[in-house]
Amino acid sequence: MNPLDRQFILSSLPGVLLPWYAAHHRILPWRETTDPYRIWLSEIMLQQTRVEAVKGYYQRFLDALPAIQDLACCPDDTLMKLWEGLGYYSRARNLKKAAQIILEEYGGVFPRDYGSVLALPGIGEYTAGAVCSIAFDLPTPAVDGNVLRLVSRLTDDPSPIDAPQTKAAVRQALSTVYPRNAGDFTQALMELGATLCGPNQKPDCPACPCAHLCLGKLRGTAEALPVKSPKRQKRQEDKTVFIFSCDGRYALEKRPEEGLLAGLWQFPNVPGHLSTQQCLEQAQALGLRPRELRREVSRKHIFTHIVWDMKGIFMEVSECSGDFLWFTKEQINDQAALPTAFRLFWEDVHHV
């Protein structure tokens, strides 16, 4: 493809997209502000998470922690409870680490330059670009999957969008065409890539303001784009998860401070799928006296690179013993952050 074609298309985008965005954008709570704390929070929550799922979490989080100072001083268990169910819990831990740095090094004021924002824990080029452009109108592109899909179709580019060099090339090309109202342009690119040119759907070319510029539409390749590298097969891990109960209390333990789901609460579990007899023996080995094995269920949870194939064992025991903490239902619901993999079994408790 002639590079001049690509540059003409991209340089035409501000004039086309800004009026379209003003007239057609979705009303979302984080678009009603230029407060960098709120924009930053929304961008972190929206990573790997649907917009509709984020709305409630976003408001609850801000009700509890309305300012950077509140986030920096928030107890870890409270923070994890606020994040419970959103997944990718390292995002919340990095939010707090970054807030503490902002408090200590910037006096609680969010830094206004791209390099300082990019240096904060948990912030990559996309998030730094989004915050700096939307909050401060800096010409810093925020290139995510939606923007990559949009640009690949507009320019009929078959380069794999998950290749770092592709993302870098798109970021560089967009940075040369940014208008003065950078925040609206960033959000217009995101909006078009998330809606009319969205994922897992046929592009809505008749409604698209860029249809007359789109090489993918002109050449009939839009639906075949973007191209991605072949996916690696996810590793499967078998687990037996114990939901031990005793007089209305349930056994929980903390996960290690490093690794997957670090520092969160979990039901006791062991590798492999144990037989009924092995489950009884395992309970005794953990210092418990089984009274009744009440139910078995199977659940799966998919992480980015791992699939947990879980066998859940609901077992009544004679006393609250063993090296666990024993919580009531109310305490688990109000205080203990259970990641989704284990909450799958907690939801079953009400049906036992």
> So which residues are the catalytic ones?
43
Chain-centre distance for alpha carbon 282: 35
Strand-pairing partners, residue 313, are 242, 296
β pairing state of 235-246 and 306-317:
parallel
For the chain, first and last CA: distance in Å? 62
Can you list the alpha helix ranges (DSSP code H) found in the chain? 3-24, 36-46, 51-64, 68-72, 76-83, 90-106, 114-118, 125-136, 145-154, 164-175, 182-194, 215-219, 276-285, 329-334, 340-349
Kindly tell me the burial class for residue 9, based on how many C-beta atoms sit within 10 Å of its own C-beta (0-12, 13-18, 19 or more): buried
Residues 6+ apart with CB under 8 A from 231: none
- Measured CA to CA, the distance from residue 33 to residue 39 in angstroms comes to 8
Report residue 182: phi and psi, to 5°. -65, -35
Element (DSSP H or E) covering residue 311: strand 306-317
The beta strands (E) that lie in 247-281 are given as: 249-254, 265-266, 269-271
